[in-house]
Amino acid sequence: MITREGLGVNGGMEVPFSVEIMPSALGELKAIHVFYRRQIAQAIREQLVHQPTVAARNRKLLAAPRPSFECEPPLWELRVGSYRVFYDVDEVAQLVFVRAVREKPPHADTEDIL
């Protein structure tokens, strides 16, 4: 679990989100080669602790997904190279739940790997 630390912009207190990797996603992550696994872990730390529900270059909200795993809508996608991290957010509790980590082959759609 990634803890809540740090100060926000302009000296204001910003409470970062905690990240919880669900057991199924942890199993998928452990099956990935360590070099890529470290890149994914770093991206999770950098991208999902602050403003996980704000669309960015590597982060987007998925429209009407039909995942093969349990999640609470809305579902978000974080792009890390050829891998995709799928997560949902509990904004009240300030928690990010990583639900799946999948490799996306070239020319495949996101729906193909959900």
Q: Give tens-digit pLDDT for 58-85.
A: 999 999 889 999 999 999 999 999 999 9
Residue 9 covered by a domain:
no
Residue 3 covered by a domain:
no
CATH of the domain at 34: 3.30.2310.20
Residue 46 covered by a domain:
yes
Q: Residue 85 corresponds to which tokens in the numbers above?
A: 């991290």
Residue-number span of the structural domain to which 50 is assigned:
16-113
Q: Residue 26 corresponds to which tokens in the numbers above?
A: 């942890």
Non-local (6+) Cβ contacts of 80 within 8 A are 39, 40, 43, 58
Residue 2 covered by a domain:
no
Tens digits of residue pLDDT in 86-108: 999 999 999 999 999 999 999 99
pTM: 0.86
d(CA 89, CA 91): 6
| Domain total in the chain | 1
Residue that is written with structure tokens 């470290």 in the block: 38
